[in-house]
Amino acid sequence: MKVQLQQLRYFLAVEQTRHFTQAADNLGVSQPTLSKQIHTLEQTLGAPLFERIRGAVTLTAAGHTLLPIAQRMVADADAAQEAVSDIVGLRRGEVRLGATPSLCSSLVPEVLRTFRTAHPEIQLYVNEGGSQDLIENLHAHTLDLALIVQPEEGVDEALTATPVLRESLVVASVADGPPPTIHAQIALSELEHTPLVMFRAGYDIRGVTLDACRKAGFTPKFAVEGGEMDAVLAFVEAGLGVALVPSMVLANRPLLRATPLAPPGMRRTIALAHRKRSVLPHAAEALRTTLLEHVATQQLPVGVRPL
């Protein structure tokens, strides 16, 4: 036989009231039930816990020994229950989200604001990086969720990737300068002699841009290269060149002009990924729901559509 937590609660109730009937009333059980549980506890421990003399109930030596242990065990059990309830009820916890730089400067802030308003006690951690780095972080269990550019071949079998939105790439140029084309849309081949502001090596859009230019029959020339998203946009604003960027990042950039690419254009799919065989923490599941609801219900910039 093992000591049960309920028996310890009964023991503490009797010790506090020094009266079996009063303890039973406080616990909402019958006096015989309480007495039976105390008797079972005494049998399990092999010693009486209370002395009953002329209606008075006092602790025995064994009872005095058990008292601080029972108090600590019951307190730990209550603390564990409260801690888990807080996590389940989203009153505490944390969530670790990864996202590409373009999404960190466009979609993610609005989603996190909505989530933070609903769950102010949840600690948020954001990791900004390229899609491949974020996928590796998911495998390493340093991220719960990641917004990635979905590879054409899909992600590996250890991950689940839910397509969230599809966005077009556009040519960003300085708004108060001459447009990159006289037409409403620009063919990629028209950029052959236009200096490009290019992202650093390993950046998702860099590879896509270089491949597209090669397929169009030319090797692009760079005005400057090596930047992250914010730096690239700032360089374009300074008039150093044009850049191929996701349309979403230009929504709040009044100093920049967005020129659509002529058909077939260039598009990419953004997916929300997580480990397939891991149960998402409650906070991460709540953030996932918030993000999907935001994409489905909020007005998205031109060139972006939900999936």
Q: Are residues 184 and 254 in the same domain?
A: yes
Residue 298 has a pLDDT of: 86
**Exposure letters 187-217 (e unless 16+ CB within 10 A, then b):** ebebbeebebbbbeeebbbbebbeebbeeee
Q: Residue 205 belongs to what domain range?
A: 168-267
Report how far residue 286's alpha carbon sits from residue 280's, in angstroms, rounded to the nearest whole number: 9
- What is the value of pTM for the model shown? 0.72
> Could you tell me if 22 and 74 lie in one domain?
yes
pLDDT at position 233: 94
Residues 262 and 281 in one domain: no
Give 261 or 101, the one with higher predicted confidence.
Answer: 261
- 306 sits in the region (left: phi over 0; alpha: psi -120 to 50; else beta) called beta
- The tens digit of pLDDT for each residue in 43-73 reads 999 999 999 877 788 999 999 999 999 999 9
19/57 same-domain check: yes
Domain count along the chain: 3
Q: Find where tokens 């859009």 sit.
A: 205
Who's near 242: CB < 8 A, 6+ residues apart?
171, 172, 173, 180, 191, 194, 195, 196, 197, 236
- 177, 262: one domain: yes
Q: Do 275 and 155 belong together in one domain? A: yes
HSE toward the beta carbon, residue 69, CA cutoff 13 A: 9
Average pLDDT of the chain to the nearest whole number: 90
In angstroms, the CA 11 to CA 37 distance is: 9
Q: Last residue of some domain: 58, 88, 118? A: 88
- CATH assignment at residue 284: 3.40.190.10
| pLDDT band (50, 70, 90) for residue 86 | low
Same structural domain, 83 and 124: no
Q: How confident is the model at residue 243 (pLDDT cuts 50, 70, 90)?
A: very high
Looking at 88, 106, 133, which one is the last position of a domain?
Answer: 88
Residues 152 and 295 in one domain: yes
Please answer whether residues 260 and 303 qualify as being in contact, where contact means their C-beta atoms are separated by less than 8 angstroms.
Answer: yes
Q: Is the pLDDT of residue 1 over 70?
A: no
178 shares its domain with 190: yes
Residues written for the chain: 307
Specify the CATH number for the domain of residue 249: 3.40.190.290
* Residues 146-172: tens digit of each pLDDT: 999 998 788 888 899 999 999 999 999
Which pLDDT score, from 0 to 100, does residue 181 have? 92
Which string of DSSP letters, residue by residue, matches 7-51?
A: HHHHHHHHHHHS-HHHHHHHHTS-HHHHHHHHHHHHHHHTS--EE
User: What is the predicted pLDDT for the residue at 81?
Assistant: 80
Are 287 and 145 within one domain? yes
Q: Is the domain of 82 the same as that of 223?
A: no
Tell me the CA distances in angstroms from 88 to 138, 280, 281, one per residue in order: 22, 12, 9
Last residue within a domain, chosen from 88, 105, 133: 88
Same domain, 148 and 275: yes
